[in-house]
Amino acid sequence: PKGITLSAPLPGSFTATPLDSGPMPATDRWWEAFQDERLNRHMEQAFAGNLDLDQAYARLKQIEAIARKTGAARLPFVNLEGNASRSRRLAFPEDETGNSYELSVAAGFEVDLWNKLKSRTRARELETEASLEDIRTVYLTISAQVADLYYLMVEQWSQLDLTDQTVEARKATVELVERRYLEGIVLT
């Protein structure tokens, strides 16, 4: 659409600040610093139902489940199994029916002398943290692409507006020159 303008005014000059001059801005919704409602709507559309984000969250859930399973190996376990059966044997003069019941209990605990289980648990925790960072990376990548394309669109519409204004100005100049020519005013 014509007439797209930026909501936030641009500063007169830009200065670089050292990295240790203060807290870094939050990267969660960084584009809101532009105070542009259209950009905010485009971001919401880009994130809604995004398959890359869905896949990243699915990987996180999978890694969390594996981490819980790995952490559970450090705990004592109890295994209880039961079995019941009934059998019938045909015999003369009377059939024989028998019932059989079995119950077994097993318990165990692995002593982690060399920290194998602890190391595996820590590795899974680190994988979970890495997966969270992957999700942040996907968010940042998507938001950067959307902002880049949005402001490219704004620039292109501004270029079109400028071109339209230039065409109108040149039409006015041509009309002025034609009127002067028709009135006999000659340019030297």
- Summarised one tens digit per residue, pLDDT across range 146-185 is 999 999 999 999 999 999 999 999 999 999 988 888 888 7
Q: In the chain, which residues have pLDDT < 50? A: 1-6, 14, 16-26
Whole-number Å distance between alpha carbons of 47 and 142: 8
CA distances from 12 to 15, 17, 169 (A): 10, 16, 28
pLDDT on residue 9: 52
pLDDT on residue 11: 54
